[in-house]
Structure 1
Amino acid sequence: MLLFAGSIALLLLSPEGPDFGIITWLFAQLAFAIVGGLIGLRRPGNNIGRILLVAAFLTFVQSTSWQYAQLATSGQNAQLPGDVAVAWLAGWTFVPGFVIFVVFLPLLFPTGRALSPRWRLMGWATAVFSAPTTVALALKPGPLEGLPIDNPVGIESAAQLIEALYLWGYPFIGVCGLVASSSLIVRFRRSSGIERQQLKSFGASTLLFLFFVVAT
């Protein structure tokens, strides 16, 4: 909650004015965090609650760090403490959160378990192969994306390897997201009763959320 409030406050302090698209996204993450907390309390064995909480937490960390770094480099403020470290944090924390949302949430919803060992293997493969992408982004030399700050831990000698991991990682995550989404179709065809209604609600909520993201 503190990270959410901090991110909103930094958005309001932005010299360019608040970005209402980001604000909408943050409120959606707050809703995910609340739902995740409720699931964790009522059904502690269901991994969906933990997934939603972790994804929302990573989103709040990335957004708060990004807004802080932008404010620190806007030229209208004295140098803020920790601006370089915070900017570095903002540069890579969105990747694990993105992977959770586009792969693990559709893969495990609504039971918190994969449909079969084969689907579970796909989840492990995603985790294993997305980790180098995250590390590559954290160690990519040169300016941090969107900020006039050089990566403080960038490794120039490994620039080509890091660039390759960075460029190949995103398409791989995208393919994994499409495959994970197809598991929802398989799950829906096999489901009945409450689980089928949960899947319908999930699909409708996803479409509504995408509409708001595009509209804003």
Structure 2
Amino acid sequence: MRRFLRGIRMPWLVLGVSVALAAASVALGISGGADLFIAFSIAALGVVFAGTGALVASRAPGNWIGWIFCAMGLLFEFGILGEVYVAYGSLADGFLPGRAWVGWISQWSNNAFAPTMIILSFLLFPTGRLPSARWRPVALIATGVAVVHAASAALTPGPLQDYGIQNPAGIEAATALRMIAEVSVLILVLPLMLLSVVSLFARLRRSSGIERQQLKWFAYAAALLATDLLASNALAVLLGGTGNEVAEFIPFLTFVITLSGIPMAMGVAILKHRLYDID
């Protein structure tokens, strides 16, 4: 019984930590550590993932998607907090302690694991299990790429890619690992992502009943996100490219909103709340 209660409480603890990290990011953004709009948007996105994950993991603890969303929420929050913390520390002439280590944790954790978690969530949706054993290599390869990428980002010497400060844990022996990681990411991540999305739409075509309704929720949210990306690119062209503030602000805002729809739609589908409203 105690183990069960701990399993129920853990998702809400993760959500609480995510909210605290989001608040810290926004506070530092207000203080001038980084672009406040960017900080608020990414922090809010992380809370959406963590909140959806907490709901799913607490009500369906056997479904791995809830736990993946909880982890993704934390990754988003660590990522944006690292960015604003390092930026604010630079403005404060190094007043904030541990800037290099905060940037280090943020870089290797967020950049390496977020793509793999997205791939796994697509592969596991909606049951929390792979569609069949033949998809296991896809999940294993995606996980392996994330581990190699994380090790490379954590150990490669030189400046941290996102922050311009020296890697405090860099070692010369890891230089070759960076090349392996970059090649694996370039060659494997996009095909794996496409495979995971294709698997969802293939299952939608074969499905019926409740599973079909669950997959429809994802399909509509994904279609909305794809439409937004196309419209954003068209808007950028019409307004003269990336130098235009409107061309940058509106697409980013709509992207965050439509991206937030993915975990929310998947959460509704998994929990089967108002499932048939999609029709």
TM-score using structure 1 length: 0.88
**Residue among 181, 188, 191 paired with 1:166:** 181
For 1:164 and 1:109, the matched residues in 2 are separated by: 33
**Residue among 170, 174, 177 paired with 1:154:** 170
4+ runs of 1 displaced by more than 3 Å? 206-210
For 2:116 and 2:223, the matched residues in 1 are separated by: 18
For 2:146 and 2:57, the matched residues in 1 are separated by: 26
Q: Kindly provide the amino acid, as one letter, of the partner of residue 168 in structure 1.
A: V
Cα deviation, 1:3-51, whole Å, max 9, x if unaligned, reads 121122222223554134x533332321221121111222221111111
Q: Are the equivalent residues in 1 in contact too, given 2:42–2:80 (CA < 8 A)?
A: no
Higher relative contact order (CA 8 A, sep 6+): 1
**Residue among 10, 19, 31 paired with 1:13:** 31
Secondary structure at the aligned position of 2:36 is classed as: coil
User: What does 1:42-191 correspond to in 2, within 5 Å?
Assistant: 42-74=59-91, 76-94=92-110, 95-101=112-118, 103-159=119-175, 161-171=176-186, 172-191=188-207
Tell me, which stretches of 5 or more residues in structure 1 are unaligned?
Answer: none
- CA separation of 1:61 and 1:17: change in aligned 2, threshold 3 A: closer
Who wins on radius of gyration, i.e. which is larger?
A: 2
Q: Kindly provide the amino acid, as one letter, of the partner of residue 13 in structure 1.
A: S
Q: Are the equivalent residues in 2 in contact too, given 1:10–1:67 (CA < 8 A)?
A: yes
Secondary structure at the aligned position of 1:93 is classed as: helix
**Residue among 43, 46, 51 paired with 1:34:** 51
For 1:124 and 1:209, the matched residues in 2 are separated by: 27
Cα deviation, 1:87-108, whole Å, max 9, x if unaligned, reads 111221111123202x111111
Q: Kindly provide the amino acid, as one letter, of the partner of residue 183 in structure 1.
A: S
For 1:10 and 1:205, the matched residues in 2 are separated by: 32
- CA separation of 1:78 and 1:164: change in aligned 2, threshold 3 A: closer
Q: Aligned pair count?
A: 212
For 2:141 and 2:157, the matched residues in 1 are separated by: 27
Tell me, which stretches of 5 or more residues in structure 2 are unaligned?
Answer: 1-18, 233-250, 253-279
Q: CA deviation at 1:141?
A: 1.2
Secondary structure at the aligned position of 1:154 is classed as: coil
Cα deviation, 1:97-134, whole Å, max 9, x if unaligned, reads 23202x11111111111100011231022112321111
When the two chains are superposed, the root-mean-square deviation of aligned CA atoms in Å is 2.1
Q: CA deviation at 1:65?
A: 1.7
Q: Kindly provide the amino acid, as one letter, of the partner of residue 24 in structure 2.
A: G
TM-score using structure 2 length: 0.69
For 2:189 and 2:140, the matched residues in 1 are separated by: 12
Q: Are the equivalent residues in 2 in contact too, given 1:130–1:173 (CA < 8 A)?
A: no
